[in-house]
Amino acid sequence: MKVVGIIAEYNPFHKGHQFHLSRARELSGADYVIVVMSGNYVQRGTPAMFDKYTRAEAALRSGADLVLELPVPVATGSAEYFASGAVKMLADTGIVTDLCFGSECGSLMDLQKLADILAEEPEEYQILLRKYLKEGMSFPAARAHAVKDYAPDLASDLLDAPNNLLGLEYLKALKRLHSTILPHTIQREGNAYHDTTVTDGRSASASGIRDSLMKSQGVFTDRILQQLPFPELYKDYEGLSPVSENSFSLPLLQKLRALQDQPLEQYFGVSAELSNRIWNRLDEFSSFSGFTDLLKTRELTRTSVSRALLHVLLDVREYKPASVFRVLGFRKSSAILLKELSAHGNLPVITSLSQAGIPPKELYADHLYESVRSLLHGRPFQNEYRRKMLVI
Amino acid sequence: MKVVGIIAEYNPFHKGHQFHLSRARELSGADYVIVVMSGNYVQRGTPAMFDKYTRAEAALRSGADLVLELPVPVATGSAEYFASGAVKMLADTGIVTDLCFGSECGSLMDLQKLADILAEEPEEYQILLRKYLKEGMSFPAARAHAVKDYAPDLASDLLDAPNNLLGLEYLKALKRLHSTILPHTIQREGNAYHDTTVTDGRSASASGIRDSLMKSQGVFTDRILQQLPFPELYKDYEGLSPVSENSFSLPLLQKLRALQDQPLEQYFGVSAELSNRIWNRLDEFSSFSGFTDLLKTRELTRTSVSRALLHVLLDVREYKPASVFRVLGFRKSSAILLKELSAHGNLPVITSLSQAGIPPKELYADHLYESVRSLLHGRPFQNEYRRKMLVI
């Protein structure tokens, strides 16, 4: 049995994702597709615009056989933590044989070569890296220059693209785990991640779709709908303020006020320096995103700040890989996968939270998400304990 | 030196309060007026619609000589706690000679007589009370009937009016403290507390003014302005959503989600039964006021529920009387009062929070209030540590 794994956020699930899903199956010749997906919070250090069940359902309807949820510290970790936690989860299944990820370059050979250099750091490369660092370059710049000198045949912009970087981390993680999972990459079609426009006839990025929805204040225009494989999944969202980090401004501010002047290094991803900056600038807080902008520095990216603030808000103290397989949904026709997962996986399979005896603290992040959403959208609260796994 | 004390909320300070202030001075023949006033949270178990500095300033401009702040557990306690804490604060000053409070009945003799009965509970009264309780009456009803039988000359509706009830508690507190402070009462003019209309030519209640502002969405109509002695004090509020308990819906929900399923009896005013009701109904939370309505029962008034929820939100664990005199402001011409207070008072006088070394935890309630207000009104945050005492 061949099973291909996909690591995803699907925020929201668009036609580019649909294309990737079917290409992954073809390319790997897999019988089944398992997706490990972020839950209600994503890697940019923000809440997802669409709840995890909506996103999982879109994936299942588009051909995914099983969707597992990445735990919050993995889903909201830096690229290295994210990749490491997601790859470990796929490896822990015991049944995933292949991994297929999107990249800007589309060349597994190039990425593998680069990953080997970065993971092994050969002597010659190290000398180059140190030289450029001594010249005063930032680490990413010095690394790019050292790679260019060491392996001039590699495209020089490999390290400039976010999906290439994530792909490199997947490859490094596979290597670190001595995994037999076979990697594949698919060149991303359509707009680049940073291109936030939604254009007729081309695939938009998830980021472009989110930006369009922010601008339209939650109205799903025809252009947006064209990008979404199952538009009917979003009827609960139509015309309502999109969930964004700024929907969490007051909760974040309240949490910070409650902790005021305590050291925040106890939270995942918060340095002593950032903790000080937070307390020094707290009176200028005007929104989650505004505060993130205030705190970022040349050394500390906006995204790292956002992740750190999110970890304070959600009470995430440390990185922890998944300790269970949380099943968001599966295709009835692929129910065999769940049995295989129980038989071969390294972690217990959770299909019902109330039966699994998970304490409320573990579900705080989800309950906060649904609390904010219920007040923002004036809709009933969805209790995570009572949510049923999706069966398509 | 004669000093009259006034216990107040001034939410907002209106012309009826102005009248009470000058009548209190006349009636007591006092040289000075000291007001002990709620801070940013009030006795109904809600945030004040207007911040404490605005309210203190209106009182000072209207003739109060010194405004001291009641601590949160006193200001948001039941009538008994509120009265007890406020009267104790006046007694602790060592310089207050008189207390003047408003009441619906306007007769100190009647209130004093009733207070004596309720405080001493003579044998005959106790028998009557037990009889009516046995007949299945609620406690307030049984008490009213017992009083009527025991002292038929007292007006039977004395116990029906909220300011009479507070007045009774003031008198009981004075007695309990063996205080020499001389009480006076002034009949409240204008609309009753429960009459929430603002009518031309008559004094509106603070509650009526607040309701009008909620209806006008923060627009100060001429009718509202007519009731406010210094309309210019409200320019920061003009046209902005009034601060209400529902401005605190998300913070309350977040706090409850963070505590989920833990017993809440550790908070002031929360019974085991209410704690259970909170957890059983939490998924139905739609707003602070909506949740209060959901939780109230025949035995547990809406106000007790609101106070209890506020105590959970603000982390108020127990009733504590004032341990300091927190000065909100004073009249320059009455600066002597501050010296007298330092010389004769039982508690330290705090005129600067940063110098007094108060920890942030003690100011959490104020900082949360200003946090919510800053995001609601899009105005800069007011840091309580850096607020200057008002000097008029």
**Sequence-ordered list of residues with C-beta below 8 angstroms from that of B12, at least 6 positions apart, any chain:** B49, B50, B54, B55, B58, B206, B209, B210, B228, B234
pLDDT at residue B355, rounded to an integer:
83
Q: Which residues contact A297 (CB under 8 A, 6 or more apart)?
A: A277
- Asked, for residue B229, whether it belongs to a domain, the answer is no
Residues A64 and A83 both lie in one domain: yes
pLDDT in tens, B260-281: 989 999 999 999 999 999 999 9
For B136, phi then psi, to 5°, come to 100, 10
Q: Is A8 annotated as a binding residue?
A: yes
Query: Which among B360, B372, B378 has the least Cβ separation from residue A250?
Result: B372
Q: Do B257 and A371 touch (CB under 8 A)?
A: yes
* Tens digit of each residue's pLDDT (9 = 90 or more) over B24-71: 999 999 999 999 999 999 999 999 999 999 999 999 999 999 999 999
Query: B76 and B191 share a domain?
Result: yes
* Confidence band of B190 (pLDDT split at 50, 70, 90): low
The tens digit of pLDDT for each residue in A264-322 reads 999 999 999 999 999 999 999 999 999 999 999 988 999 999 999 999 999 999 999 99
Radius of gyration of chain B (CA): 21
Residue partners of A46: CB distance under 8 A and separation at least 6: A244, A245, A288, A306, A310
* pLDDT over 80 (residue A119): yes
From chain A, pick out residues whose CB is under 8 angstroms from the CB of B375. 249-250, 253, 286-287
| Number of residues written out for chain A | 392
Token representation of residue A157: 């912009």
Check if B374 contacts A (Cβ < 8 Å).
Answer: yes
Query: CA of B70 to nearest chain A CA: how many angstroms apart?
Result: 21
Q: Classify residue A179: in a domain, yes or no.
A: no
Same domain, B254 and B280: yes
pLDDT at A380 over 50: yes
Could you say which of A283, A367, A368 has the minimum Cβ distance to residue B381? Answer: A283
Token code pair at residue B10:
């001034």
Task: Please count the structural domains in chain B.
Answer: 2
A contacts of B383 (beta carbons < 8 Å): 283
For tokens 């049984």, the residue is B142
Residue B164 has pLDDT above 80, yes or no: yes
Least confident of A83-87, A147-151, A354-358, B258-262: A354-358
Chain A nearest-CA distance from B391, in A, is: 25
Residues A328 and A214 in one domain: yes
Least confidently predicted of A147-151, A187-191, A291-295: A187-191
- Alpha helix stretches (DSSP H) within chain B: 15-28, 52-61, 72-75, 79-92, 108-120, 123-134, 139-150, 162-176, 206-215, 222-227, 249-259, 272-281, 288-295, 302-314, 336-344, 353-356, 364-377
Quick one: pLDDT at residue A353? 87
- The answer to whether B10 is a known ligand-binding residue is yes
A40-79 pLDDT, tens digit per residue, is 999 999 999 999 999 999 999 999 999 999 999 999 999 9
Strand partners, B329: B67, B390
Is B283 in the same domain as B343?
no
Average pLDDT over residues B359-383: 95
Any domain includes A171: no
CB-based contact, A358 to chain B, within 8 Å: no
In a domain, B238, yes or no: no
Weakest-pLDDT range from B162-171, B184-193, B337-346, B350-359: B184-193
CA distance B361 to chain A (A): 7
Sort out which chain B residues have CB atoms less than 8 A from A367's CB and list them: 257, 260
Range of the domain at A279: 245-314
- The residue among A314, A347, A368 that closes a domain is A314
- Residues composing chain B: 392
Give yes or no for B249 touching A (CB within 8 A). Answer: yes
Q: What is the mean pLDDT of chain A?
A: 93
Within a domain: B252 = yes
Is the pLDDT score of B191 beyond 90? no
Specify whether B373 is located in the same domain as B294.
no
* Residue after which a domain boundary falls, among B259, B286, B314: B314
Q: Would B225 be classed as within a structural domain?
A: no
Instruction: Tell me: do B309 and B326 sit in the same domain.
Output: no
The confidence band for B375, taking pLDDT boundaries of 50, 70 and 90, is very high
Supply the pLDDT for residue B202. Answer: 52
Residue A9 annotated in ligand binding = yes
3-state secondary structure of A117: helix
Is the domain of A215 the same as that of A264? no
Q: With a cut of 80, say whether residue A328 has pLDDT above it.
A: yes
* One domain, residues A228 and A343: yes
Question: What residue of B is the nearest CA neighbor of A314?
Answer: B258
pLDDT of residue A202: 52
ipTM: 0.91
Q: What residues does A186 pair with on adjacent strands? A: A102
Same domain flag for B56 and B191: yes
Q: How confident is the model at residue A193 (pLDDT cuts 50, 70, 90)?
A: very low
Helix (H, G, I), strand (E, B) or coil at B159: helix
Please report which confidence band the pLDDT of residue A191 belongs to, taking 50, 70 and 90 as the band edges. Answer: very low
Give percent above pLDDT 70 in chain A: 96
* Domain-ending residue, one of B296, B314, B332: B314
- Indicate yes or no: CB of B375 within 8 angstroms of CB of A315: no
Same domain, B308 and B341: no
The pair of structure tokens assigned to A112 is 């593998």
pLDDT band for position B250 (cuts 50, 70, 90)? very high
The Cα B51–Cα B49 span in angstroms is 7
Q: Which of B247, B250, B316 to mutate to test the interface with A (most CBs of A within 10 A)?
A: B250
Quick check: B260 and A360 CB within 8 A? yes
Interface of A with B in 1-20 (CB under 8 A): none
Domain annotation covers residue A299:
yes
Residues in chain A with CB shorter than 8 Å from the CB of B364 are: 257-258, 260
The answer to whether position B135 is within a domain reads no
Half-sphere exposure of A296 (CA within 13 A, CB side): 14
Contact A183, A166 (CB under 8 A): no
Q: Report the pLDDT averaged over residues B361-379.
A: 96
Does residue B315 belong to the interface with chain A, where contact is any CB pair within 8 Å? yes
B252 and B281 in a common domain: yes
